[in-house]
Amino acid sequence: MGIFPSLIMILFNQGNSLQIRQIQPKDASILTEAYKNPEFMRLYGTTITPLTEEQLYERQNYSIEDLGFIEYLIIHKQHGAIGIAILTEYAAIHKRAQFMIGLFETEHRSIGYGTEATLLVLDLAFNAYGLHKIFSYVYAYNEFSHKNMLKFGFEHEGILKDHHFLIEEEKFINLYVNAMTETRFRNYEKISRYSRRLIGRDVTQKPIKLSPKKISSNNHKNFLNSLYY
């Protein structure tokens, strides 16, 4: 089953400090270095295997529908690449996907970059891709991330006990399940406020879809660019 039902995928978004774009083969060295960082991987994903540049090039032969996920590089306008975000595990009938995010360096995790990047991804998820629900799994030992997600507006839906095995530590751990529906996204005042401050627009508002007949051919491209990204 393919991922998002849109024929034209928007794979880029931008805020005041950050932009996100689909990961490209030229990013292979960035990913390789990040995956060598045990602290980062312990928070982001302990079972993820890094891809080579050749494998990333090979991945370009497949559509997003075939791959079943969209992976973004998080880029700061001064610091460069600072993290990764992904939408995966798409369920077409239920219009939901799993959200993952990780910032490479500790100093970037407590100054609002994670909030801005999450806003950019959720903006795409709900406003561009038409999803109904986003969910996330958080390792139980990552209390910082869990509390931040709840503060942001995600709802805690439960605990998966002994659900994930840490190979290096040889033990099972619990996963927290947090989620956000489109209804909560559109009605959560804090997301509205955060997005106006960090992105410069209110992402909780449904995008206005105008008929192409109302847009001159000369201004059509400019209109699409100004609508979002």
Residues 68-100: tens digit of each pLDDT: 789 999 999 999 999 999 999 888 889 999 999
pLDDT attached to residue 215: 39
Question: Which stretches in the chain have pLDDT values below 50?
Answer: 1-3, 6-7, 211-229
* pTM of this structure: 0.83
Q: Which DSSP helix (H) or strand (E) runs through 21?
A: strand 18-22
Structure confidence at residue 48 (pLDDT): 67
Six token digits for residue 118: 């999450």
Pick the CATH number of 12-137+196-227 from 3.30.70.1230, 1.20.140.10, 3.40.630.30, 3.20.20.370: 3.40.630.30
Domain boundaries, the chain: 12-137+196-227
Whole-number Å distance between alpha carbons of 153 and 123: 14
Among 10, 9, 55, 13, residue whose Cα is nearest residue 31: 55
> How many whole angstroms separate alpha carbon 196 and alpha carbon 218?
29
Dist. CA 153–CA 119, nearest whole Å = 11
Residue 106 token pair:
């500790």
Distance CA 49, CA 35 (A): 8
Question: How high is the pLDDT of residue 41?
Answer: 80
Question: 132 is written with which tokens?
Answer: 């109904």
- Side-chain-side CA neighbours of residue 157 (13 Å): 13
Which residues contact residue 137 at a Cβ distance below 8 angstroms, ignoring those fewer than 6 apart?
98, 160, 175, 176, 177
Q: Can you tell me the distance from the alpha carbon of 42 to that of 166, in angstroms, rounded to the nearest whole number?
A: 9
Query: What is the helix (H) or strand (E) element at residue 68, kind and residue range?
Result: none
Helix then strand then coil, % of the chain, to nearest 5: 35, 30, 35
pLDDT of amino acid 83: 93
Residues in the chain: 229
Q: Cβ distance 84 to 117 under 8 Å?
A: no
